[in-house]
Homo-oligomer: A and B are copies of this chain.
């Protein structure tokens, strides 16, 4: 029964029942942290081979990975990520555990030295702005905040960012220097940018000649079902076709393929971008961990091996996503107090509560024993103008814990809605 059509008496009765249900749940004393998209132990166990002995230590070029050298990564790791990112191996740099670190460093280099030789360092400018499709990844926004980059939120559609707004803004203001994108199974909405959107991004005519797309393809192989998956167009090829070859930096990692706390990451871009990055990287460091790169390549030698491995992750993840979606379909849908996407991959279900209730729902869940990502966290400056979006991260809890957490979540959504509708 649609809550929005209930009269005051019905709402009050429902609210009373919900308060009882909430109190009863609280009494169970559950303690669960669902605030981040962390893989479960069951998923980490899938990469146990990485903990096994490494019997030799020569890379594909015969170089001893234990020693100095190899700034850009061992050849087989560059090839592997080249295959995963659909890029030539020589345009790939392998990094450490976190692709976020590669992104941060890219922005830091732009501020310190400019994006290419001869370009003004962004640190010399009065104002730098970024387009931020929202909701988006909170850590991207944290990077912007730390550099004092003004964030301009861009609405998300079912096909990706609102490109009318993106095109208009990028063309109108040379202080707008870039745009964050999680183009596949986006964090948190689980939306994959359509081919049309990718092409429009690639064909942008920004006012700034040092405008950069930060293409964080964190979930490029993270399908929940390989037979019913999204497909993402190659942004680099599209950029090159549009004469914008240098406009995009691409990132990926094995954080949610192997070990979140001990994986490897990669960056890919145009030859000019890579050459300039490597030049500065050679001042910043000696090499990333080549032993771990070799471990990874022995375990997952090519994309076929990765795909096979990701099917095992999907077998762990899909039942958890199903629990979330089923609970929402059964408990929330009939009441018309929330909306959500049906992601085919990634790590999140993005829930849109009745406007003005997201903070209250997160608070109710917290008091009930389940910590969710903070309401508004997926928006620039943590500011969700509708106080509506909540990111649900189903991966870490056990199936039983998740069922309980969703029970609480649905009670909280209904209770907050009843409170709101009663004014």
Contact = CB atoms under 8 A, between A and B. Distances in A.
Interface of A: 36, 38-39, 41, 44, 47, 50-55, 57, 64-70, 96-98, 100-101, 104-105, 108, 111-113, 123, 139, 142-143, 145-147, 255, 259-262, 280, 283-292
Nearest to A261: B290
B146 A283 contact: yes
Most buried by B among A44, A96, A101, A262: A262
Contact of A64 (B44, B123, B290): B44
28 contacts: A38-B67, A41-B64, A41-B67, A44-B64, A51-B53, A51-B57, A64-B261, A67-B260, A68-B260, A96-B97, A97-B286, A97-B287, A98-B285, A98-B287, A100-B286, A101-B284, A101-B285, A104-B285, A105-B284, A108-B108, A112-B112, A113-B146, A139-B283, A142-B283, A146-B283, A261-B287, A289-B289, A292-B292
A147 B109 CA distance: 11
Given A51-B53, A97-B285, A289-B292, 13 more contacts: A38-B68, A41-B67, A44-B57, A66-B259, A67-B259, A70-B261, A104-B285, A105-B284, A139-B283, A139-B286, A146-B280, A260-B286, A262-B291
A69 B104 contact: no
A371 to B, nearest CB: 14
Contacts of A36: 68
Count of identical protomers in the assembly:
2
A112 to B, nearest CB: 6
A104 B290 CA distance: 20
Contact of A147 (B68, B112, B143): B112
Contacts of A101: 284-286
Contacts of A111: 112, 123
Given A64-B41, A292-B292, A104 B284 contact: yes
Q: Give the 10 A-B CB pairs with smallest separation, nearest first.
A: A262-B291, A101-B285, A66-B259, A261-B290, A104-B284, A44-B66, A146-B283, A51-B54, A98-B286, A68-B260
A191 B267 CA distance: 40
A38 B69 CA distance: 10
B260 A66 contact: yes
B65 A261 contact: yes
B262 A289 contact: yes
Contacts of A145: 283
Contacts of A66: 44, 47, 259-262
B68 A143 contact: no
Contacts of A292: 262, 289, 291-292
A262 B296 CA distance: 13
A38 to B, nearest CB: 5
Contacts of A260: 66-68, 286
B261 A96 contact: no
A286 B143 CA distance: 12
Nearest to A285: B101
A285 B291 CA distance: 20
Contacts of A98: 285-287
A254 to B, nearest CB: 12
A287 B147 CA distance: 20
A286 B142 CA distance: 12
Nearest to A288: B97
Nearest to A108: B108
Nearest to A294: B262
B284 A262 contact: no
Contacts of A57: 44, 51
